[in-house]
Amino acid sequence: MGYRGERASKINHQHIVEDEKVKAYLARCGETDKTPLDIDFKSIATKLS
């Protein structure tokens, strides 16, 4: 969704989708059958401050 007056287009993200580092990262990612409600985020979160 774009901002008012902005012409939003998914093609603007094409360079990210085609990036070899992004492709390599996504290839290492797994799939899950869990929903967001099933995940204990506190156990996987990293404290930033």
Please check the confidence at residue 35 and state whether its pLDDT lies above 90. no
Segments making up each domain of the chain, as ranges: 10-44
Report in angstroms the alpha-carbon separations of 10 from 1, 6, 21.
10, 13, 19
Question: pLDDT tens digits for 8-34?
Answer: 666 778 888 899 999 999 899 888 888
pLDDT of residue 6: 67
pLDDT of residue 33: 86
Indicate the pTM of the whole model: 0.43
